[in-house]
């Protein structure tokens, strides 16, 4: 009787170095960053590449993650149920955006009007950020990222601010952002998503359900 030999499964080699909080501030090229996989990073932290430096930050708080999840639900409901919802191609949380040599990670990205799945490394049509309390992060969201997303030709940039109870919307026109403010009780509509209604109060209510905590520095 012949003996059947079961081939051994090769164990996946663990990365020699795992990026984490201790990696904050190390020098890194865009190519090195792009070639890294999720397994190379400690997923308890968030990572961006800024001016050749790896920046390690805490993952979003519940006050940001919960309304972000709800925004994803509202977008997918529009995609599934609205007659013009197929204009929304895909929406995902926390995906990298190439801004020249920098790699930003918006809280949510939206591709629309493509008529297909986004290609690998294709920048989104819309980027969304939920503002944190820390001044450094607020400055990044309101100023630095605005300039970078404009240069990257992202068509709209939404900044949802639970502290000021507003959403700041930057719309790209002739290569420059035109800015409008949406207040808590208003509904936001965009030509990029015909028939889509974004009730800002619904997102702010979810953020406010969570107890206010001291954000890590």
pLDDT tens digits for the chain (217 residues)?
Answer: 444 444 555 554 555 678 888 888 889 898 888 888 888 888 878 888 888 888 888 878 899 999 999 999 999 999 999 999 999 999 999 999 999 888 899 999 999 999 999 998 899 999 999 998 888 889 989 999 999 999 999 999 999 999 999 999 999 999 999 999 999 999 999 999 999 999 999 999 999 999 876 655 5
Which CATH number belongs to the domain containing residue 95 in this structure?
A: 3.90.1570.10
User: Tell me, what's the pLDDT at 8?
Assistant: 53
Compute the distance between CA of residue 182 and CA of residue 173 in angstroms, rounded to an integer: 18
In this structure, the strands spanning 156-161 and 126-130 are: parallel
Q: Are residues 26 and 86 in the same domain?
A: no
Q: Are residues 130 and 196 in the same domain?
A: yes
In DSSP terms, which residues pair with 110 in a beta bridge? 91, 126
Q: Which of 34, 58, 82 is the last residue of a domain?
A: 58
Residue 104 exposed, middle or buried by CB count within 10 Å (0-12, 13-18, 19+): buried
Q: Which residues of 107-119 are buried (b: 16+ CB within 10 A; e: fewer)?
A: bbbbbbeeeeebe
Give how many domains the chain has, as a whole number: 2
27: which DSSP letter?
Answer: B
Q: Which of 12, 41, 58 is the last residue of a domain?
A: 58
Q: Are residues 121 and 162 in the same domain?
A: yes
Q: Are residues 48 and 121 in the same domain?
A: no
With respect to residue 103, please indicate whether it lies within any of the assigned structural domains.
Answer: yes
Q: Are residues 66 and 159 in the same domain?
A: yes
87: which DSSP letter?
Answer: G
Helices (H), the chain: 30-35, 62-81, 135-139, 145-151, 200-209
Three-state DSSP state, 30: helix
Helix (H) or strand (E) holding 40: none
Q: Do residues 70 and 206 touch, judged by C-beta distance below 8 A?
A: yes
User: Tell me, what's the pLDDT at 215?
Assistant: 59
Domain housing 31: 21-58
């Amino acid at each position: 009787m012949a003996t059947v030999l079961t081939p051994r499964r090769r164990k996946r080699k663990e990365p020699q170095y795992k990026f984490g909080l201790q990696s904050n501030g190390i020098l890194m090229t865009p190519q090195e960053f792009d070639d890294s996989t999720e397994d190379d990073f400690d997923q308890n932290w968030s990572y961006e590449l800024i001016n050749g430096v790896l920046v390690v930050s805490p993952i979003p708080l519940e006050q940001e993650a919960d309304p972000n999840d709800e925004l994803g639900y509202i977008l997918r409901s529009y995609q599934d149920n609205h007659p013009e919802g197929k204009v929304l191609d895909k929406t995902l949380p926390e995906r990298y955006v190439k801004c020249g040599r920098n790699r930003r990670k918006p809280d949510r990205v939206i591709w629309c009007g493509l008529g297909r799945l986004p290609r690998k490394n294709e920048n989104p049509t819309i980027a969304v950020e939920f503002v944190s309390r820390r001044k450094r992060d607020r400055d990044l969201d309101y100023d630095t990222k605005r300039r970078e997303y404009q240069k990257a030709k992202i068509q709209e940039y939404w900044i949802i601010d639970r502290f000021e109870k507003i959403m700041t919307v930057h719309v790209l026109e002739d290569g420059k952002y035109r800015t409008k403010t949406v207040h808590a009780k208003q509904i936001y509509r965009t030509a990029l998503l015909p028939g889509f209604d974004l009730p800002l109060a619904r997102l702010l209510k979810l953020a406010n359900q969570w107890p206010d905590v001291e954000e890590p520095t």
